[in-house]
Chain A
């Protein structure tokens, strides 16, 4: 029988590291600790399952909606991180290994520590300025361009908790655990049939019958990036303004109200890019990320 683990158990299991007393973040199937190892700040990630997760390690606000087992998600995340080479996609420092923690076997690995914190943390103090939003958009679209261009990967779970900032202030996309790998047989079959994260999903992610490699494309990630950019620019979610619930949510999601921009001062090109990527119909978004990338770069 497996036993619950705690931060103390993790610290005890990794004596070669200085493990922070509180988790840095808790996701659907793993917990992250900031650690000091070999003189550098890093992130230790430990894979959990329901039998080892302590009850007080609740999940972050934007809960992953993934019915898969940790090992399935883990396999995808590792495959993605190993295959990609972009400053805007998180990198692995060590390959996964197994270690006993409180008597249970757990997979663990080290990631680069991104000192700039998450986008969610940045937004907690208010919206970003327009230049930062443009930089955010360019970084995330570049990440999508790399994922699709080199490995035909769609991230599917871009949200403020999955965007961190490196030491130069560049956005970096993390957590490929929900990604769709359209060309890698060993990790192609995803059981994910809904959105990766509540409130950060494109309309097509809710359509189970339509959910296939044919419809989930970089255009899906564009929609998510546009949600994040809009939220970064305004401080509010484009489809979930404060005080609203789920009533007519799908209708709202499929019909972004461009009039929301009327009260916002921003460059018309930035508005155009966000509005087009927020189109509820995938066919009306950009065909590839090159076009919005070029548009945003022209604003720098």
Chain B
């Protein structure tokens, strides 16, 4: 139960520097960001570094009607723009084979992720197609080499009834596991807080697939919410160095005219957030009471004098990953979901208290930190109550 690096543009030397640190155990490759030859070299480097490698064929970009475009997909022969919920069976077979070929070039022995589309709900017209693709892939690739991709809108989690119906079928699949990506409504960073009911449904999904049915469950682009999923039974959660690799949206692939440089952020594990190095972290260290937010060995070692302005963007990204991986490992160290969830709830309770103290001391932090902590905490409570965990 650990962190998988969500591969994307600008990997730099991270595949050399990060593996070996606690909590890193895999990488999810992105064919959009490297051509087949380069991606194969990346996969080999990752394997040499001891990481488990998955290849996300990212076919959820198609069938959405959006203007999403993935730079290297055609080089990987992963252009599935014809995918449709009413397509003939032969088309499904061809798409499954295209996904396998692209992955087998990079990862000859698999496992392979199935192609999929983004579901608006678990009962929409596309949902059966995803399951048919999964069955087709399982028959063609074999149980142990098949990981089912499931991409869906956050709103799909609004209906627990639809999710249950889908789960009743999904849990009959003879496959190794599931790779989940959830399209968030907003691409802001830090992420907007989840609606607790929806996150609770996601935790139920993870728990049912992972803990009760014994599948591998990988949640890509998960950020801190992924820690709760690890507690509920996920095998791994993914997060990457850039903000766009920490929460999923197909908007990431819609070409734009550029944007502002990313704000440099520093991990604050005690409040389950990454906060601004300048304007927040430096404000907190002015008082011993509020400095407790950053009382963490990783941060103390790097900033002995509180000189947060010295933090560069790339180093900040690495710090985020190192901290999240270590955090994931500490939660994953508990054997049973109940113990892991106890720990998560305890940490979130302390985070709420700490954020209350900060507010009383007059230090202004982004309101989303507290909102996220409350949302995750509420979601875990709802989930535990419902599933009797």
Please list the residues of chain A having a beta carbon within 8 angstroms of any beta carbon in chain B: 204, 210, 214-215, 217, 258, 281-284, 287
Contacts and interface: CB of A to CB of B under 8 A. Distances in A.
Contact of B168 (A215, A258, A287): A215
A217 B165 CA distance: 15
Across the A-B interface, give the 7 residue pairs with the lowest CB-CB distance, nearest first. A283-B167, A283-B171, A287-B213, A282-B168, A283-B168, A283-B208, A214-B169
Given A283-B213, A287-B213, A287-B214, A217 B172 contact: yes
Nearest to B212: A284
B104 interface: no
A282 B168 CA distance: 6
B170 interface: yes
User: Which DSSP category, helix, strand, loop or mixed, fits chain A's interface?
Assistant: loop
Contacts of A258: 388
B153 interface: no
Identify whether the interface residues of B are mostly helix, strand, loop, or mixed: helix
Interface residues of B, number: 13
A210 B162 CA distance: 13
A283 B168 CA distance: 5
22 contacts: A204-B168, A210-B165, A210-B168, A214-B169, A214-B172, A215-B169, A217-B172, A258-B388, A282-B168, A282-B171, A283-B164, A283-B167, A283-B168, A283-B170, A283-B208, A283-B212, A283-B213, A284-B208, A284-B212, A287-B171, A287-B213, A287-B214
Interface string B151-175: 0000000000000110111111000
Nearest to B213: A287
Interface of B: 164-165, 167-172, 208, 212-214, 388
Contacts of A282: 168, 171
A69 B213 CA distance: 38
A284 B204 CA distance: 10
A281 B168 CA distance: 7
A281 to B, nearest CB: 6
Nearest to A215: B168
A132 to B, nearest CB: 28
A279 to B, nearest CB: 9
Nearest to A218: B172
Contacts of B165: 210
A182 to B, nearest CB: 11
Contacts of A214: 169, 172
Nearest to A281: B164
B121 to A, nearest CB: 17
B4 to A, nearest CB: 24
Nearest to A282: B168
A153 B172 CA distance: 15
A253 B317 CA distance: 51
A234 to B, nearest CB: 21
B222 to A, nearest CB: 22
Nearest to B163: A283
Nearest to B164: A281
